[in-house]
Amino acid sequence: MTTKMVIYFDCDQTRLDFFEDISELIFWNDNQRDEDSRRHYKDKITFAFPDLDSFDSLQPDALGNRLNYSKAYIAIDLRHPAHWMKK
């Protein structure tokens, strides 16, 4: 089953704070389960950010727009070294 949730943020820092909080909650919940019933959310949940330059608005549901947790965190954390070359 695929579920889509869209959330808009007033600024980058609010989005980063929310992302950190919600991910901690989701992954904590997953880790409370035994190995057989874990959902492995870190591998299965994907994130898309329409306001990023790399987002293809012509194909909003394209796989290229979906980022796994670690790539999404890098994309929204403007302090990450990956963003230094863009300045």
CB 80 within 8 A of CB 54: no
Intervals of the chain under pLDDT 70: 1, 86-87
pLDDT at 87: 56
pLDDT at 6: 84
pLDDT at 14: 94
